[in-house]
Amino acid sequence: MTPISDALDSQIQHKIDTKTKPLGSLGGLEALAYQVARIQNTLVPEMKRAHMLVFAADHGAVEKGMSAFPQEVTPQMVGNFLAGGAAVSVFCRQHNVPLKVIDVGVKVDMPDHPLLAQRKVAYGSQDFTEHAALTLEEVNTALGVGADEVSNVVSQGTDLLMFGEMGIGNTGVSSCMLSAISGQRAEETTGRGTGLDDEGVSQKSAILTQALNRASTSLNKPIGEWAPWEVATQVGGLEILAMSGAMLRSAELQKPFVVDGFICTVALLFAKQMQAHVVDYAIFAHQSGEQAHRKLLNEFDARPILKLDLRLGEGSGAILAYPIIQSAVAFFNDMASFESAGVSNAT
């Protein structure tokens, strides 16, 4: 993976600073413009063609009761995406962004649809409280699916990738992966997900603790000391790993991508374990309502674009942030400079 070039850094910053505005007055928009121009390595970046990829899969441990919704909601919601009725579908349509759903591990077979990629690695993961969630082959295949899907849309001329997910129980799986990587106890990483009450959160945390203890015993390693492939096989989720693979390929192709909420940020954390420079290409959409998300964003030193208390997933926060990213590029390209406008600068 090629690190982002710093050859144009001073010119990019000079272009931002000499626009007809007080220095720094566009706040986070200036940081966005700077990041996109650096990634594209140009003083005239483009942000005209985005693509939303939503990865879907099921999780064996859902049967233990770690979600407020039953597992059959996963294929039902995939059908809703394809019919255009989900939030991410509505917002993508509003902003003229193509949406593609990738079945990487839904527990049932989905009927063919023009917006659906049939890339099933397995019929969901195994129950990670009892044994490893995935095989190493399944992990590698899921990573490859994400990479392939990015390559496909980039070949069509995409400036920006956005990722979403669907999988009942995947907030819990993400919390478990976060604990495994960071060494934090499940109580610190477990949130309400799709709306659990206090008792439900406690039950969810207990399930994740059981999974982490089982895996630590199997690996003979405490959490926080597992290798990436051990995290993925022991407690990973297919759609989360597919997003990680998609992020890695986006960065390899030097394309910026938008990180949605908590689950997507955990996918980035996993990708970072494999290639640190992947973070340079990440634009953080929003801070979600999950208790561990703010702390995780701080670990990335991230300044998310939005804070709307979203906790939906699907890539909904990513698509909501898209017009703001476009505005950052628009001001960078089209806003007059003090010199071109004949306006006196501050002294």
Mention every residue, 6+ apart, whose C-beta is less than 8 A from residue 131.
214
User: At residue 73, what is the residue type?
Assistant: V
Rounded CA separation 41/37 (Å): 6
How many H helices and E strands in the chain?
14, 6
Enter the DSSP assignment of 257.
E
165 catalytically annotated? no
- In this structure, are residues 338 and 63 in contact, taking their beta carbons and an 8 Å threshold? no
Tokens of 137: 């082959």
Q: Which of 81, 78, 104 is nearest to 92 (CA)?
A: 81
Rounded CA separation 113/278 (Å): 32
- Helix axis angle for 28-40 and 316-334, nearest 10°, is 80
Tokens of 336: 């007059």
Mention every residue, 6+ apart, whose C-beta is less than 8 A from residue 103.
56, 57, 78, 110, 116, 117, 118, 119, 120
**Residue 242 Cα to chain centre, angstroms:** 10
Catalytic residue among 188, 230, 314, 339: 314
Catalytic residue numbers read: 314
